[in-house]
Amino acid sequence: MLTRREFLGALGSGALGLGVAGGLLGRLRGLAAAAAVKARPVEGWPDLVGVKDGSPAQMFDVGIKALGGMGRFVKKGASVLVKPNIGWAKTPNEGATTNPELVGRIVESARGASAKKVFVFDHSVELEEDCHRASGIAKAVRAAGGEMRTAGDRDDYRKVAVRGGKVLAEVEVHALYLDCDVVINVPVLKSHGGSRMTAAMKNLMGVVWDRGYWHRHGLQEAIAEFPLVRKPDLNIVDAFIVMVQNGPRGLGTEDLLLKKMQILSPDIVLADAASAKTLGIALEAVPYIKRAAGLGLGSVDLDKKLVKRISVGA
Amino acid sequence: MIRNLRFLSQAAFFALSLAVFFGLAAWPSAAAFQSATQIMPALSGVRWLDLPRFWPVLGLLFVLPLLAGRLYCSWYCPVGFLQDAAGRLAKALRFSAKPADGRSALRYFAFGLAWALLLSGSAAFHFLDHSSSLGSLYGLLGLAWAQRSFDAISGHGTVFALVLLAVPLVRARWFCAALCPTGCAFMLMRRWALFKTRTGPGCAVKAGGRAPRPPSGRALAVGCAACGACSRACPVRCVDEGSIDESRCVDCLECVSECRSGYLAYSLQWPWQATAPKPEPDPVDLRPTGRRRFLIAAGAVAVGALTGRRLRAGILSFPPGEPRDGIPPGGRSADEFYSRCVACGTCASVCPTRILAQKGASPLAGMGQARMDYGSLACSYECNACLAVCPSGALSYFPPQVKKRIKIGSSILKKERCIPIAHGRDCAACHERCPTGAISMAPHQKVRKPKLDDDYCIGCGACEAACPVQPEKAIVVRPRRLHSFAFIPRPSMRKAVGLQDIPRPEDDAFPF
């Protein structure tokens, strides 16, 4: 006959055993996964990594590992610019700005790779202070040990020539974008009434002073030509919440889809090509992508490139 | 003791006025209280029976002089505080200010003029009003600080700075005695005050050599020692050896606390009780007295009032302001707004985007009044700071979710200048900034052009500010003279054009 005490004891030890076993199993699985991505693949690092079904920070951890780790991009003592979309005085769940958790995680990761300084800024469309606060990015960056910078002072910008630019012969660019050793571009994926889509390339409009010039003289051409100044070393497209209509500002939650995705690529054009497909529009609908490819800034051919697809949830 | 207490009280209310002006919008109750105490601006809505939130405070301030004399002027008013401070400075520098003339025709003229303007619905009374003028002075400092320049300054604030800080060095509290329409009203009411600073008949001992006679049988005083302590203490310089110039006394109580003989007192006297006998008229003093003085004062008030009405019908008649001058949200209509905006600049000082500006040296009517400076700036959609701080009620308060719907203008698209329509290139700078969904993008040849829906447009000017077309913008706001409400943005009903293939969330595979 089992006494009550014995029964409870058995129940307790059984639960303990299960817990330990589960923990060990998870640990082992993690180790295996880490080992799998640590070994450099024979055909080289993937050109693009797509991650889905995780939290933004989680997907970044998995994605950057698949790309070879942050150490591949950020060398010891490097100065790093992380350029998210902080253009709007909107909260993270409104999908107009980059997820703050993701930005914080990237800053942390760059710091972990022994970066000397990690700067974050965006030439906001709405009032900068409101954008910094509402988006939650300023707080996340500070918590992660990064440095928020402002972009409202023209003195911080430098005029540079765009070699090969037709519409954009010269452009005033924020000094940090030009001077930092590493640039990590962290856009949020949205539809856009003018450029059709805002992702990696469009996000760089936030490092220039006079955006009106782009609108006046050819938005599509200017977006395509700007990376001729400098290509970001890494593009991380936040597609966790995707604004599929009424972008880039959005009118309400009806404009958003929860896609829980992330696209990481050193190739800015390839990142935008994958973003267009994620947004659900044809490559041809976003004229600047092919134009940028024509300028030799990257490839649009997702089929010919090494694309790694990881589902965190599976 | 009294002196220090009074200084603390004045300084505290001065600090409150500064705090409200320079960004205490986060504490609307403080701002609302401050508004209720600014007598003339707070009363500017009386034609519409629109009184400030703390209207009992305003009511109390209006009966206070009948009960307790001019405590408002001496213990509350920040304008009085600044003048007292200048007076103290003068004293410290050892050149004592002379008394101002409290019975000048100018004072009664200003009184008649200002109140006639207010009651006939012209905000031009603000040139004479103490709180509005202090606002212009703050505005001057605030804008100079914000813009790091002295460009956007109303001339009025500069003049008032002199009146407040320089004139008191030579004439004690000159503004209160010579111009302030509120002070004049309070002075007239104070005549019948139950409590006020009073004298015994002791001065007569010195002046006429007659024996003291206590008024109405009450032993009020034993007699003036003629020690001169009261005149040394008086910040207004209205007490001299026991005689008070009633036209200027603000009941600061400093003389009372200094009087060693108990001759000066802040005491209760019912109106039916006899007053102290008047001293014999000084044969050397040739100033008019008694009935003649009353007639001059009444005449000056009448001339002032008639001038006010005349101005109101003429140079100050509606509609004032350029049609292009937008009325800020909460202003309701041109009529109400322009008759109540006292040009204090409080709204401009809290505006985060600086679209709220003060009218410069245009005709008298618009001088210093608030306007929307469309062009390169826009009214922030989420913000209602200006509505929360307006002391005169020219802008009435609405919570953010209501303010977001106030339609202060309509955007007009000039197709011949618009980049997608005229040049066939993508742009959408206006659509990008539009917070309400009033601008959507419609297919046009190979690109997309903006399409306006006026039902949703609130006239915030975001589109105009964003429009890159030069030198003349392709989309501009036409301000409304009468505000209304726009529709609430409903994106579900306003599906963007050209996105036929919206991927479904349950789509499991990678799209690339």
* Distance (Å) from the alpha carbon of A1 to chain B's nearest alpha carbon: 52
**Distance between CA atoms of residues B136 and B342, nearest Å:** 9
pLDDT tens digits, one per residue of B161-197? 888 888 988 899 999 999 999 999 999 999 889 999 9
Q: Which of A31-40, A222-231, B130-139, B252-261 has the lowest mean pLDDT?
A: A31-40
Neighbours of A247 (CB within 10 A): 30
Number of domains into which chain A is organized: 2
Q: Which of B203-217, B254-268, B429-443 has the highest mean pLDDT?
A: B429-443
Question: Token pair for residue A172?
Answer: 């005033």
Do A147 and A92 lie in one domain? The reply is yes
pLDDT, position B29: 78
- B148: which residues sit within 8 A by CB, 6+ positions away? none
Q: Which residues of B touch A126 (CB under 8 A)?
A: 380
* Distance (Å) from the alpha carbon of B338 to chain A's nearest alpha carbon: 29
Do A20 and A3 lie in one domain? The reply is yes
Find the helix or strand (DSSP H, E) in which B89 lies.
Answer: helix B78-92
Do A15 and A53 lie in one domain? The reply is no
Closest residue in B to A259 (Cα–Cα): B505
Mean residue pLDDT across chain B: 82
Tokens 């700078």 belong to residue = B429
**CB environment B83-105: b (16+ within 10 A), e (fewer):** bbbbbeebeeeeeebebbbbbbe
Share of chain A above pLDDT 70, in %: 86
Band of the pLDDT at B215, cuts 50, 70, 90?
very low
CATH no., domain B195-210+224-268: 3.30.70.20
pLDDT, position B499: 43
pLDDT tens digits, one per residue of B106-143? 999 999 999 999 998 888 898 899 988 888 888 777 76
Measured at the CA of B373, the angle between CA B372 and CA B375, to 5 degrees, comes to 130
B472 in A contact zone (CB under 8 Å): no
Band of the pLDDT at B11, cuts 50, 70, 90?
very high
Q: Which residues of B touch A52 (CB under 8 A)?
A: 510
Check if CATH label 3.30.70.20 holds for domain B405-490: yes
Domain limits, CATH 3.30.70.20, in chain B:
195-210+224-268, 405-490
* Distance (Å) from the alpha carbon of B410 to chain A's nearest alpha carbon: 19
**Letter for the amino acid at B190?**
R
Q: Note whether B429 contacts A218, CB cutoff 8 Å.
A: no
Closest residue in A to B354 (Cα–Cα): A127
DSSP per residue, B370-382? EEE--SS----TT
Nearest alpha carbon to residue B147 among B341, B342, B348, B344:
B348
Do A13 and A85 lie in one domain? The reply is no
Question: Token pair for residue B160?
Answer: 């008032």
Residues β-bridged to residue A170: A161
Do A90 and A117 lie in one domain? The reply is yes
Report whether A48 contacts A270 (CB < 8 A): yes
Nearest to B491 among A194, A252, A287 (CB): A252
How confident is the model over A57-83, as a mean pLDDT?
96
Q: Note whether A216 contacts B470, CB cutoff 8 Å.
A: yes
Question: Token pair for residue B406?
Answer: 């106030």
Do A114 and A23 lie in one domain? The reply is no
pLDDT tens digits, one per residue of A115-160? 999 999 999 999 999 999 999 999 999 999 999 999 999 999 999 9
DSSP state at residue B511: -
Q: Which residues of A touch B425 (CB under 8 A)?
A: 218-220
* Distance (Å) from the alpha carbon of B19 to chain A's nearest alpha carbon: 21
A13 in B contact zone (CB under 8 Å): no
CATH number of the structural domain spanning residue A183: 3.40.50
Do A149 and A215 lie in one domain? The reply is yes
Report whether A169 contacts A161 (CB < 8 A): yes
Report whether A204 contacts A121 (CB < 8 A): no
Question: Per-residue pLDDT for B7 more than 60?
Answer: yes
DSSP state at residue A284: G
Do A226 and A259 lie in one domain? The reply is yes
Report whether B477 contacts B464 (CB < 8 A): yes
Q: Which residues of B touch A307 (CB under 8 A)?
A: 512
Q: Note whether A249 contacts B433, CB cutoff 8 Å.
A: yes
**Distance between CA atoms of residues A312 and A61, nearest Å:** 10
**Letter for the amino acid at A310?**
I
Question: Which conformational region is residue A251 in: left (phi greater than 0), alpha (psi within -120 to 50 degrees), or beta?
Answer: alpha
**Distance between CA atoms of residues A299 and A274, nearest Å:** 11
Do A178 and A261 lie in one domain? The reply is yes
Domain holding A238, by residue range, is 44-311
Q: Note whether A194 contacts B353, CB cutoff 8 Å.
A: no
Neighbours of A145 (CB within 10 A): 15
Do A154 and A101 lie in one domain? The reply is yes
Do A96 and A78 lie in one domain? The reply is yes
Find the helix or strand (DSSP H, E) in which B171 lies.
Answer: strand B171-172
CA neighbours within 13 Å on the CB side: how many for A293? 15
Do A20 and A58 lie in one domain? The reply is no
pLDDT tens digits, one per residue of A198-218? 999 999 999 999 999 999 999
Q: Which residues of B touch A287 (CB under 8 A)?
A: 426
**Distance between CA atoms of residues B179 and B160, nearest Å:** 12
Report whether B122 contacts B333 (CB < 8 A): no
Count of A-B CB contacts under 8 Å: 123
Q: Which has the higher per-residue pLDDT, A16 or B227?
A: B227
